[in-house]
Amino acid sequence: MMWGLVGLGGAAGTALGAFVLRKPSPRRLLVSTAVVCGLLGVCSAYPYVPIMTAPLTFGVLGSAASMIAVGTAPPVWLDRRSIRRSTLAVIKRLAIYCAVGVTSALFGYLAVRAGTTLYVKLR
């Protein structure tokens, strides 16, 4: 059951990645990464039915990593300076995607936790 949910999440993430990469642009990739990671942060903090949300989250995360890897600039290997330049460009883009993803996931997680805490305290 659990591996089926992970596979289902991976299929959903792959379909989302294929949809986003139809017309790749830096802005579209960053926004889609932020939305996917924010929703995954929400799913990880959601207190109800964690046995279903956790495997789906892991499946989408696994395919989101491949979406980001495909979305980075393809390296050009011509000479020594090109190798260094393209490696630095890929590292910079991956760092930006990771920073946006982590920030969005943390924001989604904290939004659910803060809302749950506020609901419990006001009840």
- Over the stretch 109-122, which tens digit does the pLDDT of each residue have? 899 889 888 988 99
Residue-by-residue DSSP string for 84-100: HHHHHHHHHHHHHHHHH
Residue-number span of the structural domain to which 12 is assigned: 2-122
Q: Is the pLDDT of residue 20 over 70?
A: yes
- Cβ burial, residue 96 (10 Å; 0-12/13-18/19+): middle
State how many domains the chain has.
1
The structure tokens listed for 11 are: 């299929």
Q: What is the pLDDT of residues 55-92, one digit of tens each?
A: 777 777 777 656 665 555 565 667 777 778 877 877 88
Alpha carbon distance 39, 111 (integer Å): 11
Q: Quick one: pLDDT at residue 116?
A: 87
CA distance 47 to 38: 16
